């Protein structure tokens, strides 16, 4: 049984009285403990997919299945599934009126997880992310990288089994992004968490994921997936011959669709 499965999911938005088909017949599977990336050009519906999985928005058609439990347009997501998922936003999305620690612990408050062990786990994660020094400050004093870190910690504080990340490092500079990527891989290996990671950066996708779904636009759809087998997943992989080949392959897949449209 797959950890996450989407079957025939499509999504229409109403924008200025016009129907916009943002997603068309999406099928994908993510196995337990897998690290999956979704790559595609801007506007192809990557955020829409991940928001449907997290039940932030409802699909127009199709079903989502997590741990064998189904939810869709009419069937609400069961309570126990909500706690299995953590969502990292494109911007850090911290509340400016809460301190960093209060922000991080907000999911605990909402889920009613009050015990000592939860607070201690939060402290452990804050420490692990190197944020102990800034935990009692307000978010406005944090750098972008630090804010984004806090966003990741907030998504993990209730020990989810699935981490949904919507271009979490897209707004960071190259060096910071690389460092965050490596740390994320460490966390993933340690915890065995299932990750869906969205990006439009192909080399980021190749470096991070075991499998990448490739998307195209108009309408937003999945045009294929690549299994990525790299010997090492760290910064040294960036100069690996296979790494370059994978990037090239994905680039060509996306590019060929673009050409098709041009003709």
Partner 1 sequence: MAESSRIRLLGEGWFGGLAVQVALLGAVLALWYVLVVGFDVPEWQLPTPARIFGSMVNDFTTIAPHLLSTSRNVLLGFFISVALGLSLAIVIYFNAPVGMTITPFINLMCIIPLITIVPLLMLWLGFGNEAKLIAVVLQSFPIVNLNAFASFSNVDPLRLELMQSLKATRYQTMRCCVLPDAMPGIFTGVKLAAILALIAEVTSEIVGGNTGLGAQIIQYTQYMKMPQAFACVFYTALFGALFHQSLSFIERQLVKK
Ligand X SMILES: Nc1ncnc2c1ncn2[C@@H]1O[C@H](COP(=O)(O)OP(=O)(O)OP(=O)(O)O)[C@@H](O)[C@H]1O
For Mg ion, the binding residues (CB under 5 A) are 47
Compute the least distance from the CB of residue 34 to partner 1, in Å: 21
Nearer to partner 1, 109 or 242 (CB): 109
Q: Which does 55 bind (CB under 5 to 8 A by kind): partner 1, ligand X, Mg ion, none?
A: partner 1
Distance CA 38, CA 260 (A): 21
Q: How far apart are CA 245 and CA 220, in angstroms?
A: 25
- Please check whether residue 173 is in contact with residue 142, taking contact to mean a CB–CB distance below 8 angstroms: no
> Considering only residues 63-102, where is the footprint of ligand X by CB under 6 A?
none
Rounded-to-integer distance, Cα 92 and Cα 161, Å: 21
When asked if residue 221 is in the footprint of ligand X (CB under 6 A), the reply is no
DSSP-assigned letters across all residues of 216-255: ETTTTEEEEEEE---S--SGGGGG-HHHHHHHHHHHHHHH
Report the partner that residue 109 touches, choosing among Mg ion, partner 1, ligand X, none (CB closer than 5 to 8 A by kind): partner 1
Q: Is residue 124 classed as helix, strand or coil in its secondary structure?
A: helix
Between 39 and 153, whose beta carbon lies closer to Mg ion? Answer: 39
Note whether 68 binds partner 1 by CB under 8 A. no
Site string for partner 1, 122-141 (x = CB under 8 A): ----------------x-x-
Q: Which of 17, 42, 97, 114 binds ligand X (CB under 6 A)?
A: 42
Which residue's CB is nearer to partner 1, number 44 or number 88? Answer: 88
Count, residues near partner 1 per rule CB under 8 A: 23
Interface pattern 105-124 for partner 1 (x via CB under 8 A): -xx-xxx-------------
Q: How far is the CB of 55 from partner 1 (least distance, A)?
A: 8
Torsion of CA 80, 151, 126, 212, to 10 degrees: 80
**Residue 120 class from Cβ within 10 Å (0-12 exposed, 13-18 middle, 19+ buried)?**
exposed
Distance of CA 158 to the CA centre of its chain: 17
Nearer to partner 1, 50 or 205 (CB): 50
Give the CA distances from residue 224 to residues 31, 38, 51, 174, 254, in Å, rounded to whole numbers and listed in that order: 17, 10, 21, 27, 10
In the complex with Mg ion, the residue whose CB is nearer, 47 or 181, is: 47
Q: Which residues contact 147 (CB under 8 A, 6 or more apart)?
A: 92, 94, 139
- Sole binder of partner 1 in the list 93, 176, 191, 251 (CB under 8 A): 93
Bridge partners (DSSP) listed for residue 163: 86, 195
22 counts as binding ligand X under rule CB under 6 A:
yes
Provide the binding-site residues for partner 1, judged by CB under 8 A.
51, 54-56, 77, 79, 82, 85, 87, 89, 91, 93, 95-98, 106-107, 109-111, 138, 140
Q: In the complex, which residues of this chain contact ligand X (CB under 6 A)?
A: 13, 15, 20, 22, 40, 42-48, 200, 220
């Amino acid at each position: 049984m797959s950890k996450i499965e989407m079957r025939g999911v499509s999504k229409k938005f109403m924008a200025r009285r016009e129907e916009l088909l943002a997603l068309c017949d999406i099928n994908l599977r993510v196995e337990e403990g897998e690290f999956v990336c979704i790559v595609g050009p801007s506007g192809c519906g990557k955020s829409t997919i991940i928001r449907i999985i997290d039940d932030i928005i409802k699909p127009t058609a199709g079903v989502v299945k997590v741990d064998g439990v189904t939810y869709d347009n009419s069937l609400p997501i069961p309570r126990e599934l909500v706690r299995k998922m953590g969502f990292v936003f494109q911007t850090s999305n911290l509340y400016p009126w809460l301190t960093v620690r209060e922000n991080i612990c907000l999911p605990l408050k909402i889920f009613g997880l009050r015990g000592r062990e939860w607070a201690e786990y939060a402290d452990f994660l804050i420490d692990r992310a190197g944020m102990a020094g800034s935990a009692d400050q307000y978010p406005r004093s944090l750098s972008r990288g630090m804010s984004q870190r806090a966003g990741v910690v907030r998504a993990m504080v209730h020990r989810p089994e699935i981490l949904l990340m919507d271009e979490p490092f897209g707004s960071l500079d190259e060096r910071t992004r690389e460092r965050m990527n490596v740390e994320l891989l460490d966390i993933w290996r340690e915890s065995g968490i299932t990750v869906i990671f969205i990006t439009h950066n192909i080399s980021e996708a190749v470096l991070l994921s075991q499998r990448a779904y490739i998307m195209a636009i108009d309408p937003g759809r999945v045009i294929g997936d690549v299994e990525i087998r790299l010997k090492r997943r760290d910064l040294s992989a960036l100069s690996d011959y296979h790494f370059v080949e994978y990037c090239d392959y994905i680039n060509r897949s996306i590019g060929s669709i673009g050409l098709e449209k041009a003709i």
